Amino acid sequence: MSDTRGTTKRISAEEIERQKQFCAEIRKMNEGRPGGPPLAYTQTYGCQQNEADSERIRGYLEQMGFGFTTDAEQARIIVINTCAIREHAEQRVFGNVGALVHGKRRHPEQIICLCGCMAQQPRVAQKIRESYRHVDLVFGPHVLWKFPEMIHTLLTRRGRMFLTPDEPGSIAEGIPVVRQDKVKAWVSIMYGCNNFCSYCIVPYVRGRERSRQPEDILSEVEQLVNEGYKDITLLGQNVNSYGRDLDEPTDFATLLEAVNAIPGDFLIRFMTSHPKDATQKLFETMARCKKVAPVLHLPFQAGNDRILRVMNRRHTREQYLEKIRALKALIPDITLTSDIIVGFPGESTEEFEDTLKVLEEVRFDALFTFIFSPRPGTPAAEMADPMPREEKLKNFNRLTALQDAISEEKHAAYIGKTVRCLMDGLSDDARYDLTARTPGNRLVRVTGERSALGQFRDVKITGANKWSLFGELI
């Protein structure tokens, strides 16, 4: 392991204070306006890290004196936080951002911002510069902490701004947040990724791995628990390498143990883990810590060793399976989920079948399955990819059919059991009152009193299908 100690750049408290002063100035400009506070509209694509970033953008917007709207037409400021992981996500963003041109014609004072992982790619920033001239501000994840300053500049001067510096990234503490949910919360523990899996754009757009100080994470979780949050997910592209870059290096298992020691009735989840760094120490910590949910999302991507090598995953299929066996020995009822890519360049159908074998052995509770999408700038985008899309699709359908059957069987085994679940939402399906999650994060549709929202309650499971469970409050 290379020595990364103390390499992380930290944005000073004075800098964040300066940003809050920009918020205060904008707030003053906003206050005198007739018709109440101006409104902001935010839209988020992609992973939970992006959701967490949008919570900080909304935190800043609130300090600037903006209210929020779900109607882009009503908004003075529009922020689109984007994802670059697959081409499909990018196309959706281009379509939706393109459509904003009409609203802007009607409301020329509107400020349209595009941020997140797409924005960080030079090819995207260039396209926005040339063909999406109604977009005023483009900024990458590394400069999110400067959002108030950027908005202040736009409000006080004319012109467009592009801020997408190519840097290893930094850590900024003390940015305000407006959270979407009252029961579940995301807490970023680290940013960036050093793994450079050959298909993945993330290390190019999110920079190098850098960890927050444990005390900052612990005080954020403590505060969330005091506010009544019951389900806390620790976030990072690769949480298993948490702490290596700190002046006083630590590891993820140690952090998990410390979060578990915070008083209160709450569940701890985390994602994402990389198999090569998932250690026996982590598994033992999970087994010992009662607040850590018995669930692990451990992406394996492909079941064939040659493909894993070309993907630069740095583990073999047997090493992966060995870790799963060790984990199941410690936590027999562990819920397991994974990410899989079908149709990686050069993957034959025979090699793909090794992925099916992993499914049969592990019997995951659920999977996130993707067809390979070439990301310009990554090594895999340059690799020969002779398999026709129809054949990839056929393999993809075989994969989902097998997983559907496994999920259905695993869900059926819950019927008749009583499970302590967290009531995490009100149901939008008239036949049920609440949505809930098992400790392993399986979705349960529940009948019972809606006032149970936000509580841990026993649920009698009465039915199941491949997607979810059904039950009644006891």
* Residues forming the site for ligand 5AD (CB under 6 A): 85-86, 199-200, 299, 301, 339, 341, 370, 372-373, 375
Q: Name which position in 40, 163, 193, 461 contacts ligand SF4 (CB under 6 A).
A: 193
Give the strand pairing for 137-139 and 161-163: parallel
Q: Which is nearer to ligand SF4, 193 or 225 (CB)?
A: 193
Q: Which is nearer to ligand 5AD, 377 or 454 (CB)?
A: 377
Q: Look at residue 399 and give the partner it binds from ligand SF4, ligand 5AD, none, a contact being a CB closer than 5 to 8 Å depending on partner kind.
A: none
Are the CB atoms for 169 and 188 separated by under 8 Å?
A: no
Q: Given phi > 0 = left and psi -120 to 50 = alpha, else beta, which region is 370?
A: beta
Closest CB 355 distance from ligand SF4, rounded Å? 16
Closest CB 344 distance from ligand 5AD, rounded Å? 8
Q: Look at residue 86 and give the partner it binds from ligand SF4, ligand 5AD, none, a contact being a CB closer than 5 to 8 Å depending on partner kind.
A: ligand 5AD
Q: Look at residue 355 and give the partner it binds from ligand SF4, ligand 5AD, none, a contact being a CB closer than 5 to 8 Å depending on partner kind.
A: none
Stretch of 45-53, 105-113, 191-199, 466-474 contacting ligand SF4, by CB under 6 A? 191-199
Stretch of 38-46, 129-137, 155-163, 196-204 contacting ligand SF4, by CB under 6 A? 196-204
Cis peptide before 369 (omega within 30 of 0): no
Determine the Cα–Cα distance for residues 329 and 175; give it in Å rounded to an integer: 42
Closest CB 244 distance from ligand SF4, rounded Å? 14
Q: Which of residues 274-293 bind ligand SF4 (CB under 6 A)?
A: 274
Taking CB under 6 A as the rule, does residue 310 contact ligand SF4? no
Closest CB 199 distance from ligand SF4, rounded Å? 7
Q: Look at residue 85 and give the partner it binds from ligand SF4, ligand 5AD, none, a contact being a CB closer than 5 to 8 Å depending on partner kind.
A: ligand 5AD
SS3 for 114?
strand
Are the CB atoms for 171 and 196 separated by under 8 Å?
A: no
Q: Look at residue 114 and give the partner it binds from ligand 5AD, ligand SF4, none, a contact being a CB closer than 5 to 8 Å depending on partner kind.
A: none
Closest CB 374 distance from ligand 5AD, rounded Å? 7
Q: Which CA distances in Å does 264 have to 221, 252, 279, 290?
A: 11, 21, 27, 12
Q: Name which position in 138, 150, 197, 293 contacts ligand SF4 (CB under 6 A).
A: 197
Q: Look at residue 238 and give the partner it binds from ligand 5AD, ligand SF4, none, a contact being a CB closer than 5 to 8 Å depending on partner kind.
A: ligand SF4
Determine the Cα–Cα distance for residues 438 and 309; give it in Å rounded to an integer: 36
- Interface with ligand SF4 (CB under 6 A), residue total 10
Q: Residue 176 has which token pair?
A: 């305000």
Determine the Cα–Cα distance for residues 181 and 176; give it in Å rounded to an integer: 15
Give the residue closest to ligand 5AD by C-beta: 339
Q: Which of 234, 237, 336, 236 is nearest to 292 (CA)?
A: 234
Element (H, E) at 215: helix 214-226
List beta partners, residue 231.
184, 267
Q: Which of residues 425-454 bind ligand SF4 (CB under 6 A)?
A: none
Closest CB 180 distance from ligand SF4, rounded Å? 23
List beta partners, residue 170.
9
Q: Look at residue 195 and give the partner it binds from ligand 5AD, ligand SF4, none, a contact being a CB closer than 5 to 8 Å depending on partner kind.
A: ligand SF4
Q: Which of residues 217-276 bind ligand SF4 (CB under 6 A)?
A: 237-238, 274
Q: Which is nearer to ligand 5AD, 8 or 198 (CB)?
A: 198
Taking CB under 6 A as the rule, does residue 118 contact ligand SF4? no
Q: Which of 186, 260, 246 is nearest to 214 (CA)?
A: 246
Q: Which is nearer to ligand SF4, 192 or 439 (CB)?
A: 192
Q: Which of 432, 458, 455 is nearest to 445 (CA)?
A: 432
Cα(first)–Cα(last) distance of the chain, in Å?
51
Q: Which of 454, 78, 214, 452 is nearest to 473 (CA)?
A: 452
SS3 for 391?
helix
Q: Which is nearer to ligand 5AD, 200 or 419 (CB)?
A: 200
Q: Residue 197 has which token pair?
A: 């899996």
Are the CB atoms for 272 and 236 separated by under 8 Å?
A: yes
Closest CB 273 distance from ligand SF4, rounded Å? 9
Are the CB atoms for 265 and 241 separated by under 8 Å?
A: no
Q: Which of residues 47-106 bind ligand SF4 (CB under 6 A)?
A: none
Q: Which is nearer to ligand 5AD, 387 or 444 (CB)?
A: 387
Determine the Cα–Cα distance for residues 68 and 77; give it in Å rounded to an integer: 10
Tell me the CB-side half-sphere exposure of residue 394, using CA atoms within 13 A: 9
Taking CB under 6 A as the rule, does residue 338 contact ligand SF4? no
Determine the Cα–Cα distance for residues 261 and 240; give it in Å rounded to an integer: 19
Closest CB 254 distance from ligand SF4, rounded Å? 21
Q: Residue 450 has which token pair?
A: 């809606």
Closest CB 312 distance from ligand SF4, rounded Å? 8
Applying CB under 6 A, which residues contact ligand SF4?
193, 195-197, 200, 202-203, 237-238, 274
